[in-house]
Amino acid sequence: MLSKYEKELLVIIWEKMMPVAEDIGSESLLRMFTTFPKTKTYFAHLDIKPRSKQMLSHGKKIVYALHEGAKNIGTLASTLAPLSRFHAYQLRIDPTNFKLLSHCILVTLACHMKDEFTPVAHAAMDKYLSAFAAVLAEKYR
Ligand code: ZNH
């Protein structure tokens, strides 16, 4: 699980990413669509082009959710319950996809954070994204 230090570090990192939430989110999405083309099937209505208006706005929503989650990490399951229900019952996203996007978010953060993406930050973020994905997948069980 995440240590106290790791939890604090996660909040600091997401705080820093807020001004570029659109960039981080849309680039993560673009990486997912490029690397795992099947994921595009859920976004038939989205203009999948680098930095299209919709990619930026959906990307921003994702990063905001990740920031909110990091601030409420002790209550992640209840904080994310509505989002989890939405993904399971309405969107019906195959939960294996959560790992794919998580991976793309990690790569995107590594590109943006450069030297600040230390092994410690990497490990903390990896654990956090796994926990987030597990909560999103919870309602399927
Ligand atoms: Zn998701 C939506 C987040 C993953 C698909 N998303 C969404 C939203 C959010 C999110 C915040 C919005 C909501 C509202 O509006 O209310 N996601 C998220 C996160 C993650 C995710 C954080 C991870 C990490 N998703 C995902 C995946 C997929 C998805 C993987 C697939 C592949 N989502 C989705 C869709 C939607 C969403 C389809 C809807 C969109 C629109 O609206 O258009």
pLDDT, tens digit only, all 141 positions of the chain:
899 999 999 999 999 999 999 999 999 999 999 999 999 999 999 999 999 999 999 999 999 999 999 999 999 999 999 999 999 999 999 999 999 999 999 999 999 999 999 999 999 999 999 999 999 998 886
Residue 141: the pLDDT is 61
Per the structure, the complete domain to which residue 74 belongs is given by: 4-140
pTM, two decimal places:
0.97
Buried b vs exposed e over 88-119: b needs ≥16 C-beta within 10 Å? Answer: beeeebebebbebbbbbbbebbeeebeeebee
The SS3 call for residue 52 is: coil
Nearest to 69 by CA among 113, 27, 13, 19: 13
ipTM above threshold 0.95: yes
Predicted confidence at residue 100, as pLDDT, reads 98
Tell me how far apart the terminal alpha carbons of the chain are, to the nearest angstrom.
22
63 lines ligand 1 (CB under 6 A): no
Choosing from 33, 47, 57, 61 the residue with most ligand 1 atoms within 8 A of its CB, the one to mutate for a pocket test is 61
- Cβ-based neighbours of 4, under 8 Å, separated by 6 or more: none
User: Which pLDDT score is estimated for 139?
Assistant: 86
Question: In this structure, what CATH number is given to the domain that contains residue 38?
Answer: 1.10.490.10
The number of folded domains in the chain is: 1
Contact call for residues 29 and 59 (beta carbons, < 8 A): yes
Chain centre to alpha carbon of residue 130: 10
If you search the block for the tokens 């905001």, which residue do you land on?
64
* C-beta of 14 in contact with ligand 1 (< 6 A): no
Q: Is 36 in the pocket of ligand 1 (CB under 6 A)?
A: no
pLDDT score, position 34: 98
Report which residue type is found at 41: T
